[in-house]
Protein backbone atom coordinates (compact mmCIF):
# COMPACT_ATOMS: atom_id res chain seq x y z
CA UNK A 1 0.00 0.00 0.00
CA UNK A 2 1.36 3.39 -0.91
CA UNK A 3 2.43 5.77 1.85
CA UNK A 4 2.29 9.49 1.16
CA UNK A 5 4.82 10.45 3.83
CA UNK A 6 7.29 13.04 2.51
CA UNK A 7 10.88 13.59 3.63
CA UNK A 8 12.95 16.38 2.08
CA UNK A 9 10.61 16.49 -0.88
CA UNK A 10 10.85 12.74 -1.49
CA UNK A 11 7.70 10.64 -1.28
CA UNK A 12 7.98 7.34 0.58
CA UNK A 13 6.28 4.45 -1.16
CA UNK A 14 7.15 1.13 0.50
CA UNK A 15 9.98 -0.32 2.60
CA UNK A 16 11.67 3.05 3.06
CA UNK A 17 11.94 3.52 -0.69
CA UNK A 18 11.72 7.20 -1.59
CA UNK A 19 10.88 8.59 -5.00
CA UNK A 20 11.90 12.05 -6.21
CA UNK A 21 9.09 13.46 -8.32
CA UNK A 22 10.23 17.09 -8.15
CA UNK A 23 11.20 18.56 -11.50
CA UNK A 24 13.19 21.57 -10.26
CA UNK A 25 16.96 21.63 -10.67
CA UNK A 26 17.40 22.44 -6.97
CA UNK A 27 15.19 23.06 -3.97
CA UNK A 28 15.36 23.62 -0.20
CA UNK A 29 13.49 21.81 2.54
CA UNK A 30 13.46 23.38 6.03
CA UNK A 31 12.41 21.28 9.01
CA UNK A 32 11.77 22.25 12.63
CA UNK A 33 11.96 19.52 15.28
CA UNK A 34 13.47 17.11 12.78
CA UNK A 35 12.93 13.43 13.56
CA UNK A 36 14.79 11.32 11.02
CA UNK A 37 14.28 7.60 10.57
CA UNK A 38 17.46 5.75 11.52
CA UNK A 39 17.81 3.62 8.41
CA UNK A 40 20.31 3.86 5.61
CA UNK A 41 19.17 5.62 2.45
CA UNK A 42 20.55 7.74 -0.38
CA UNK A 43 19.46 10.48 -2.73
CA UNK A 44 19.90 10.70 -6.48
CA UNK A 45 20.59 14.39 -5.88
CA UNK A 46 23.60 15.87 -4.11
CA UNK A 47 22.73 17.07 -0.61
CA UNK A 48 23.76 20.02 1.52
CA UNK A 49 22.45 19.92 5.09
CA UNK A 50 22.79 22.95 7.38
CA UNK A 51 22.10 22.26 11.07
CA UNK A 52 20.58 25.46 12.43
CA UNK A 53 19.99 24.05 15.92
CA UNK A 54 20.94 20.81 17.65
CA UNK A 55 23.29 18.25 16.12
CA UNK A 56 23.22 15.15 13.93
CA UNK A 57 25.46 12.13 13.39
CA UNK A 58 25.83 10.96 9.79
CA UNK A 59 26.94 7.33 9.44
CA UNK A 60 28.67 7.04 6.07
CA UNK A 61 30.80 4.01 5.23
CA UNK A 62 33.36 3.46 7.98
CA UNK A 63 33.03 6.98 9.39
CA UNK A 64 30.61 8.74 11.71
CA UNK A 65 30.45 12.49 11.03
CA UNK A 66 29.27 14.88 13.72
CA UNK A 67 27.41 17.90 12.34
CA UNK A 68 26.76 20.30 15.25
CA UNK A 69 24.87 23.56 15.26
CA UNK A 70 25.88 26.06 12.53
CA UNK A 71 27.75 23.36 10.60
CA UNK A 72 27.24 21.96 7.13
CA UNK A 73 27.63 18.52 5.64
CA UNK A 74 27.95 18.01 1.90
CA UNK A 75 27.00 14.54 0.64
CA UNK A 76 27.44 13.65 -3.05
CA UNK A 77 24.63 11.95 -4.91
CA UNK A 78 24.13 8.19 -4.51
CA UNK A 79 26.12 8.04 -1.24
CA UNK A 80 24.30 5.84 1.32
CA UNK A 81 23.98 7.41 4.77
CA UNK A 82 22.17 6.91 8.05
CA UNK A 83 21.36 9.71 10.49
CA UNK A 84 21.04 9.58 14.28
CA UNK A 85 20.67 12.21 16.99
CA UNK A 86 19.66 12.47 20.63
CA UNK A 87 19.38 16.25 20.48
CA UNK A 88 16.43 17.94 22.21
CA UNK A 89 15.59 19.82 19.04
CA UNK A 90 17.02 19.56 15.53
CA UNK A 91 16.24 22.40 13.15
CA UNK A 92 17.84 22.08 9.76
CA UNK A 93 17.82 23.08 6.12
CA UNK A 94 18.35 20.51 3.36
CA UNK A 95 19.33 21.69 -0.11
CA UNK A 96 19.17 19.11 -2.91
CA UNK A 97 20.84 19.62 -6.29
CA UNK A 98 20.26 17.62 -9.46
CA UNK A 99 23.59 18.63 -11.00
CA UNK A 100 26.79 20.10 -9.56
CA UNK A 101 29.99 21.65 -10.85
CA UNK A 102 32.88 19.46 -12.01
CA UNK A 103 35.42 20.34 -9.30
CA UNK A 104 36.71 17.46 -7.17
CA UNK A 105 35.17 19.04 -4.06
CA UNK A 106 31.65 17.93 -5.03
CA UNK A 107 32.60 14.24 -5.26
CA UNK A 108 33.48 13.88 -1.56
CA UNK A 109 31.81 14.22 1.84
CA UNK A 110 32.70 17.44 3.68
CA UNK A 111 31.81 18.77 7.13
CA UNK A 112 32.62 22.36 8.05
CA UNK A 113 31.44 25.33 10.07
CA UNK A 114 29.31 27.74 8.07
CA UNK A 115 30.93 31.20 7.94
CA UNK A 116 28.64 34.11 8.77
CA UNK A 117 28.16 35.15 5.14
CA UNK A 118 27.19 31.61 4.11
CA UNK A 119 24.75 31.33 7.03
CA UNK A 120 23.07 34.53 5.89
CA UNK A 121 22.82 33.17 2.34
CA UNK A 122 21.29 29.92 3.55
CA UNK A 123 18.81 31.70 5.81
CA UNK A 124 17.82 34.03 2.96
CA UNK A 125 17.23 30.95 0.80
CA UNK A 126 14.68 29.69 3.33
CA UNK A 127 12.13 32.00 1.70
CA UNK A 128 11.88 29.31 -0.99
CA UNK A 129 11.20 26.59 1.57
CA UNK A 130 9.36 23.68 -0.08
CA UNK A 131 8.57 25.82 -3.11
CA UNK A 132 8.18 23.70 -6.23
CA UNK A 133 7.57 26.61 -8.60
CA UNK A 134 10.22 27.75 -11.06
CA UNK A 135 11.90 30.94 -9.91
CA UNK A 136 14.75 32.65 -11.76
CA UNK A 137 16.12 34.40 -8.67
CA UNK A 138 16.15 31.11 -6.76
CA UNK A 139 17.98 29.30 -9.58
CA UNK A 140 20.70 31.96 -9.71
CA UNK A 141 20.97 32.21 -5.92
CA UNK A 142 21.22 28.45 -5.38
CA UNK A 143 23.91 28.18 -8.05
CA UNK A 144 25.85 30.93 -6.26
CA UNK A 145 25.67 28.97 -3.00
CA UNK A 146 26.75 25.79 -4.75
CA UNK A 147 29.62 27.43 -6.61
CA UNK A 148 30.90 29.14 -3.44
CA UNK A 149 30.99 26.03 -1.21
CA UNK A 150 34.63 25.04 -1.93
CA UNK A 151 35.75 28.56 -0.97
CA UNK A 152 33.75 28.50 2.27
CA UNK A 153 34.87 25.01 3.28
CA UNK A 154 37.51 24.76 5.97
CA UNK A 155 37.39 21.03 6.59
CA UNK A 156 36.61 19.96 10.16
CA UNK A 157 38.38 16.61 10.08
CA UNK A 158 38.24 16.32 13.85
CA UNK A 159 34.45 15.95 13.64
CA UNK A 160 34.86 12.44 12.24
CA UNK A 161 34.84 9.24 14.27
CA UNK A 162 36.44 6.44 12.24
CA UNK A 163 34.95 2.96 12.50
CA UNK A 164 37.66 0.29 12.07
CA UNK A 165 36.97 -2.61 9.73
CA UNK A 166 39.21 -4.99 11.73
CA UNK A 167 36.70 -6.79 13.97
CA UNK A 168 39.31 -7.25 16.71
CA UNK A 169 39.18 -3.50 17.30
CA UNK A 170 35.40 -3.22 17.70
CA UNK A 171 35.40 -4.36 21.38
CA UNK A 172 38.10 -1.75 21.99
CA UNK A 173 35.95 1.03 20.48
CA UNK A 174 32.88 -0.17 22.39
CA UNK A 175 34.84 -0.13 25.65
CA UNK A 176 36.02 3.45 25.04
CA UNK A 177 32.46 4.57 24.26
CA UNK A 178 31.20 2.92 27.46
CA UNK A 179 34.02 4.10 29.73
CA UNK A 180 34.99 7.44 28.18
CA UNK A 181 35.06 9.08 31.62
CA UNK A 182 38.06 7.04 32.71
CA UNK A 183 41.69 7.01 31.61
CA UNK A 184 42.60 4.48 28.95
CA UNK A 185 43.74 1.13 30.34
CA UNK A 186 45.96 0.02 27.48
CA UNK A 187 46.60 -3.44 28.91
CA UNK A 188 42.88 -4.14 29.35
CA UNK A 189 42.11 -2.85 25.84
CA UNK A 190 44.88 -4.99 24.36
CA UNK A 191 43.44 -8.00 26.17
CA UNK A 192 40.02 -7.32 24.62
CA UNK A 193 41.65 -7.18 21.18
CA UNK A 194 43.71 -10.31 21.93
CA UNK A 195 46.97 -8.66 20.97
CA UNK A 196 49.88 -6.86 22.60
CA UNK A 197 49.67 -3.19 23.54
CA UNK A 198 52.20 -2.30 20.85
CA UNK A 199 50.26 -4.24 18.19
CA UNK A 200 46.99 -2.65 19.29
CA UNK A 201 48.42 0.86 19.02
CA UNK A 202 49.95 0.17 15.62
CA UNK A 203 46.93 -1.59 14.11
CA UNK A 204 44.45 0.95 15.50
CA UNK A 205 46.44 3.83 14.01
CA UNK A 206 46.72 2.03 10.65
CA UNK A 207 42.98 1.27 10.61
CA UNK A 208 41.61 4.63 11.72
CA UNK A 209 44.35 7.16 11.01
CA UNK A 210 44.32 8.36 14.63
CA UNK A 211 45.74 7.12 17.94
CA UNK A 212 43.70 5.53 20.70
CA UNK A 213 44.29 8.65 22.79
CA UNK A 214 42.87 10.86 20.03
CA UNK A 215 39.90 8.52 19.60
CA UNK A 216 39.26 8.73 23.35
CA UNK A 217 39.38 12.53 23.22
CA UNK A 218 36.94 12.67 20.32
CA UNK A 219 34.46 10.41 22.09
CA UNK A 220 34.64 12.64 25.19
CA UNK A 221 34.07 15.82 23.18
CA UNK A 222 31.16 14.31 21.25
CA UNK A 223 29.61 13.26 24.56
CA UNK A 224 30.08 16.79 25.89
CA UNK A 225 28.16 18.17 22.91
CA UNK A 226 25.26 15.86 23.75
CA UNK A 227 25.34 16.99 27.41
CA UNK A 228 25.55 20.67 26.44
CA UNK A 229 22.49 20.19 24.25
CA UNK A 230 20.42 18.97 27.22
CA UNK A 231 20.95 22.33 29.00
CA UNK A 232 20.81 20.47 32.32
CA UNK A 233 24.42 20.98 33.41
CA UNK A 234 26.99 23.71 33.81
CA UNK A 235 30.21 23.45 31.83
CA UNK A 236 32.09 22.55 35.01
CA UNK A 237 29.66 19.69 35.65
CA UNK A 238 30.03 18.49 32.07
CA UNK A 239 33.81 18.57 32.36
CA UNK A 240 33.57 16.28 35.39
CA UNK A 241 30.96 13.99 33.81
CA UNK A 242 33.18 13.26 30.81
CA UNK A 243 36.33 12.74 32.85
CA UNK A 244 38.23 16.03 32.93
CA UNK A 245 39.71 17.20 36.22
CA UNK A 246 39.07 20.89 35.55
CA UNK A 247 37.00 23.20 33.39
CA UNK A 248 40.18 24.64 31.86
CA UNK A 249 41.37 21.18 30.75
CA UNK A 250 37.97 20.45 29.19
CA UNK A 251 37.85 23.85 27.48
CA UNK A 252 41.32 23.35 25.97
CA UNK A 253 40.42 19.87 24.73
CA UNK A 254 37.09 21.07 23.32
CA UNK A 255 38.75 23.99 21.54
CA UNK A 256 41.38 21.72 19.95
CA UNK A 257 38.58 19.70 18.34
CA UNK A 258 35.81 22.22 17.71
CA UNK A 259 37.98 25.36 17.12
CA UNK A 260 35.65 27.27 19.43
CA UNK A 261 35.05 27.36 23.17
CA UNK A 262 32.13 25.40 24.69
CA UNK A 263 29.09 27.37 25.73
CA UNK A 264 25.57 26.69 26.95
CA UNK A 265 22.87 28.07 24.67
CA UNK A 266 20.32 29.96 26.78
CA UNK A 267 17.47 29.82 24.31
For the domain that residue 195 is a member of, what is the CATH number? 1.10.10.60
Are 63 and 102 members of one domain?
A: yes
Residue 267 lies in a domain: no
pLDDT value at residue 3: 42
Q: Where are the alpha helices (DSSP H) in the chain?
A: 116-125, 136-152, 170-178, 186-193, 197-208, 212-230, 235-241, 247-258
pLDDT value at residue 86: 83
Cα–Cα distance, 96 to 138 (Å, whole number): 13
List, run by run, the mean pLDDT of 10-residue segments along the chain (267 residues): 52 60 86 76 90 92 91 94 87 94 96 93 94 91 96 83 92 95 96 96 95 95 91 95 96 91 80
Residue 263 lies in a domain: no
What would the pLDDT profile of 83-137 be if each residue is shown by its tens digit? Answer: 988 888 899 999 999 999 999 999 999 999 999 999 999 999 999 998 888 899 9
pLDDT value at residue 42: 83
C-alpha torsion 236→241→246→249, nearest 10: -110
Closest-CA residue to 177 (of 161, 193, 166): 161
pLDDT value at residue 2: 39
pLDDT value at residue 123: 94
pLDDT value at residue 237: 97
What would the pLDDT profile of 90-100 be if each residue is shown by its tens digit? Answer: 999 999 999 99
Are 193 and 134 members of one domain?
A: no
Angle at 246 between CA 54 and CA 87, to 5 degrees: 15
As for how many domains the chain has, the answer is 2
- What CATH number corresponds to the domain at position 73? 2.60.120.280
pLDDT value at residue 43: 84
Amino acid sequence: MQNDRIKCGLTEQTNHQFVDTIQKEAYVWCEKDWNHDQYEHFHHRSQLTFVEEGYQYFHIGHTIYLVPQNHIIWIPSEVPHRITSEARTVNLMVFLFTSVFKEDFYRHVHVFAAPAVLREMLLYASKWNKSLHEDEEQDIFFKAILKSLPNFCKESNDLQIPVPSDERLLPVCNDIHSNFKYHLNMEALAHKARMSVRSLQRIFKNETGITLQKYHQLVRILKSIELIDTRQYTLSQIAYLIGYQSLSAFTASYFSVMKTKPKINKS
